[in-house]
């Protein structure tokens, strides 16, 4: 007498899955990963922000003891990378929104950085889901797009005392930049001075019709005595060629103080 054996459908599905080399789990818990914008540009010292969504499924069982984790590769060396949230629980919403902040250091080398964002899932060996990852690719352009800040302030006279009379031409030159100032000069008319350093005190003279001059050192504590044939301006330039120009006057023409 022949006996009939009935194989439960769930067990049969698992046997078939194993026979073709696929885990009996339905699928990896992750279904998609997005990230926007596709590309963006920031200065060294600034932060780039990307947003996206992790798509998930509960098809592979009710699991609450583990979740997915976000990571990235490709950010400029020395960057501070923050995912919010950095992970999520599989039994939560079927889609999880995240934010990726990449704080780029001021020392970052300008260029284009391909960023690969990964969402990784593991069921910790329980065999209910297939371990797997989803990826989203974006790019980050590190470029110096911010001009220096500069000011031409009232300075000290040759004895080192503050000079309240703006017409006297005593100025302190100041400039800063997120990646450094490479050039700082006084220009006016057709004349341009030699290089100055932020914090220098100078004597400025406006002499129409003159050739202009830059006498160093200046009298007393002054770095230089600079004469221009047009109203004087302080010009600061950074390594990327971004330039800021600010007036140091107006000054009365020479002999009209």
Residues 55 and 127 in one domain: yes
Q: Please classify residue 11 by burial: count the beta carbons closer than 10 Å to its beta carbon, then call 0-12 exposed, 13-18 middle and 19+ buried.
A: exposed
Q: Is residue 256 part of a domain?
A: no
Average pLDDT over residues 203-216: 97
Query: Residue 152: is its pLDDT beyond 80?
Result: yes
| Whether the predicted pLDDT of 158 surpasses 80 | yes
Give yes or no: residues 91 and 165 share one domain. Answer: no
Confidence of residue 214 (pLDDT cuts 50, 70, 90): very high
Burial state string for 64-100 with b = 16 or more CB within 10 A and e = fewer than 16: eebbbbbebeebbeebeeebeeebbebeeeeebebeb
Specify whether 87 is located in the same domain as 72. Answer: yes
Chain segment 163-205, per-residue pLDDT in tens:
889 999 999 999 999 878 999 999 999 999 999 999 999 999 9
- 155 and 66 within one domain: no
Report pLDDT digits (tens) over 36-72.
Answer: 999 999 988 999 999 999 887 665 554 444 568 899 9
With a cut of 50, say whether residue 149 has pLDDT above it.
yes
Same domain membership, residue 84 and residue 131: yes
Closest Cα to residue 173, out of 147, 208, 206, 149? 149
Please report whether residue 6 resides in a domain. Answer: no
pLDDT at residue 5 tops 90: no
Return d(Cα 130, Cα 250) in angstroms, integer.
74
Band of residue 112 on the pLDDT scale cut at 50, 70, 90: very high
The counts of H helices and E strands in the chain are 1, 18
Does the structure show a pLDDT above 50 at 23? Answer: no
Is the residue at 19 inside a domain? no
pLDDT of residue 211 exceeding 50: yes
Residue 31 — pLDDT band, cuts 50, 70, 90? confident
Give the span between the Cα atoms of 169 and 165, in whole angstroms.
8
Three-state SS sequence of 170-208: EEEEEEECCCCEEEEEEEECCEECCCCCCCCEEEEEECC
Last residue of one domain, picked from the residues 118, 142, 166 = 142
- Kindly state whether residue 218 falls inside one of the protein's structural domains: yes
Could you tell me if 120 and 43 lie in one domain? yes
pLDDT of residue 175: 98
Question: pTM higher than 0.85 for the full model?
Answer: no
Same domain, 45 and 134: yes
pLDDT: which is higher, 239 or 57: 239
Asked whether the predicted pLDDT for residue 17 surpasses 80, the reply is: no
pLDDT at site 144: 86
Categorize the per-residue pLDDT at 127 as very low, low, confident or very high, splitting at 50, 70 and 90: low
- Which pLDDT score, from 0 to 100, does residue 32 have? 86
Please check whether residue 235 lies inside any domain of the structure.
Answer: yes
142-149 average pLDDT score? 91
If 0-12 CB within 10 Å is exposed, 13-18 middle and 19+ buried, where does residue 44 land?
buried
DSSP state of 218: -
- Asked whether residue 252 is assigned to any structural domain, the reply reads no
Q: What is the percent of the chain where pLDDT is above 90?
A: 64
DSSP secondary structure of 99-123:
EEEEE--TTPPSEEEEEEEEEEE--
CATH number of the domain where residue 67 is located = 2.60.40.2310
The tally of domains found in the chain comes to 2
Same domain, 72 and 56: yes
3-class DSSP state for residue 1? Answer: coil
Q: Which of 126, 142, 158 is the last residue of a domain?
A: 142
Same domain, 127 and 161: no
97/124 same-domain check: yes
Q: Is the pLDDT of residue 24 over 50?
A: no
Are both 153 and 126 inside the same structural domain?
Answer: no
Q: What integer is the mean pLDDT of 85-101?
A: 80
| 136 and 43 within one domain | yes
Average pLDDT of 217-225?
A: 96
Instruction: Assess if residue 241 is contained within a domain.
Output: yes
Q: Find the domain containing 183 and state its range.
A: 149-247
Taking 80 as the threshold, does the pLDDT of residue 252 lie above it? yes
Domain boundary among 122, 142, 162: 142
- Separation of alpha carbons 142 and 145, rounded Å: 9
Q: Is 12 domain-assigned?
A: no
């Amino acid at each position: 007498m022949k006996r009939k054996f009935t194989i439960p459908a769930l067990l049969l599905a698992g046997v078939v899955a194993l026979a073709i080399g696929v885990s009996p789990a339905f699928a990896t818990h992750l279904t998609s990963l997005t990230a926007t914008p596709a590309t963006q540009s920031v200065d060294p010292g600034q932060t780039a922000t990307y947003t996206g969504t992790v798509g998930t499924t509960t098809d592979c069982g009710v699991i609450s003891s583990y979740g997915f984790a976000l990571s990235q590769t490709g950010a400029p060396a020395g960057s501070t990378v923050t995912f919010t949230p950095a992970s999520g629980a599989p039994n939560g919403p079927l889609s999880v929104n995240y934010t990726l902040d990449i704080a780029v250091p001021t020392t970052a080398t300008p260029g284009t950085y391909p960023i690969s964002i990964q969402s990784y899932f593991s069921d910790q060996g329980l065999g209910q889901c297939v371990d797997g990852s989803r990826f989203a690719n974006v790019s980050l352009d590190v470029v110096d797009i911010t001009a220096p800040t500069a000011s031409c302030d009232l300075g000290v006279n040759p004895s080192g005392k503050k000079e309240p009379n703006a017409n006297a031409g005593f100025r302190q030159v100041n400039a800063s930049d997120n990646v450094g100032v490479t050039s700082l000069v006084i220009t006016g008319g057709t004349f341009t001075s030699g290089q100055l350093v932020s914090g220098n005190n100078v004597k400025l003279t406006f002499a129409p019709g003159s050739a202009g001059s830059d006498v160093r050192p200046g009298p007393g504590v002054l770095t230089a005595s600079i004469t221009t044939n047009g109203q004087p301006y302080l010009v600061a330039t950074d390594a990327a060629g971004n330039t800021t120009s600010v007036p140091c006057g107006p000054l009365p023409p020479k002999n009209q103080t």
